[in-house]
Amino acid sequence: MAFTSKYKAKKPDANGIINFTAEENNVWQELITRQIPIVENRACDEYLTGLELLDLPKDHVPQCHEINGPLEKATGWTVYPVEALIPDDYFFELLANRKFPAATFIRRPDEIDYLQEPDIFHEYFGHCPILTDPTYAKFIQHYGEVALKASPDIRKLLGRLYWFTVEFGLIKTNRGTLCYGGGILSSKEETVYAVESNIPERRPFNDGTDAIRTPYRIDILQPIYYVINNFQDLYNMLEDDIVQHIKDAIALGEFSPTFEKESQQPFC
């Protein structure tokens, strides 16, 4: 059954300003105030440097221009307000042009800890800081270029790469294995769990083939994370004939899921 959102996208006015209510600004304030200390020792340096650079406001939901000033200066990326779920072609075209598609609504207070769809806190706090890193910035732009040219079957599996990197990626650092994925870093519970719990498996990402073979669900704490060595490895994986890699992964077959049923709902 198709996913139906409980939320309505908020449209920017003629000056590009989105009007958020006092309650919505309060939700942002609560989310960012509690999440900053949680990510401090659990996010990689590139993310934390970006978070400092963006200097996100604490007392109100940021407007696009507040993010775009420092972000564009760092890597040429900007955020681009969209309806939460947009067609694949449009999504990849935006990435290929260094525009990060960002939802414009914020979760309700009763869903403050978890919601299934990406809201503006997920987009801005989870994804935008790391977009200030030049190598990561180059990787995600190239991901958009590759996906735009790919067939539907290849795209589906490129979606798994996105999931296990951009959304739920971990990275080796000299402070241990830490987070860079926006799906983790915008979640209070998953940021702690991904770094500290002994429940999930943390597998080496290597050339990405295993991640491509791994089914996932969007509505549970991840049972498996893939750990990269650095962001250049991610870029190199795309350059190293990723389409052939995906075909090889298809030939090898999918890993058995470690959960009951795979969710089909896309999440980005």
Residues that bind Fe ion (rule: CB under 5 A) add up to a total of 3
Output the smallest distance, CB 126 to Fe ion, in A: 6
User: Among 219, 186, 214, 188, which residue's Cα sits nearest to residue 201?
Assistant: 214
Output the smallest distance, CB 186 to Fe ion, in A: 8
**Nearer to Fe ion among residue 19 and residue 264 (C-beta):** 264
Give the range of 43-51, 152-160, 175-183, 228-236 binding Fe ion by CB under 5 A. Answer: 175-183
d(CA 197, CA 190): 10
Please report where in the chains the tokens 């951009």 appear, as a residue.
166
Which residues lie closer than 8 Å to 266 by C-beta, 6 or more apart?
85, 159
**Nearer to Fe ion among residue 193 and residue 248 (C-beta):** 193
Which residues lie closer than 8 Å to 170 by C-beta, 6 or more apart?
177, 178, 179, 180, 181, 184, 194, 195, 202, 225, 226, 227, 228
Residue 127 a catalytic site member: yes
Confirm or reject binding of residue 82 to Fe ion (CB under 5 A).
no
Residue 186 a catalytic site member: yes
Confirm or reject binding of residue 268 to Fe ion (CB under 5 A).
yes
d(CA 13, CA 175): 44
Residue 122 a catalytic site member: yes
**Nearer to Fe ion among residue 71 and residue 268 (C-beta):** 268
Output the smallest distance, CB 69 to Fe ion, in A: 22
Confirm or reject binding of residue 120 to Fe ion (CB under 5 A).
no
d(CA 244, CA 221): 30
Evaluate whether 145 touches 100 at the Cβ level (below 8 Å).
no
**Nearer to Fe ion among residue 84 and residue 212 (C-beta):** 84
d(CA 114, CA 229): 29
Confirm or reject binding of residue 79 to Fe ion (CB under 5 A).
no
Question: Which of 24, 117, 122, 190 is an active site residue?
Answer: 122
Question: Which of 24, 46, 123, 127 is an active site residue?
Answer: 127
Q: Token pair of 63, please?
A: 């407007």
Active site residues: 122, 127, 167, 186
Question: Which residues of this protein are in contact with Fe ion, per CB under 5 A?
Answer: 118, 182, 268
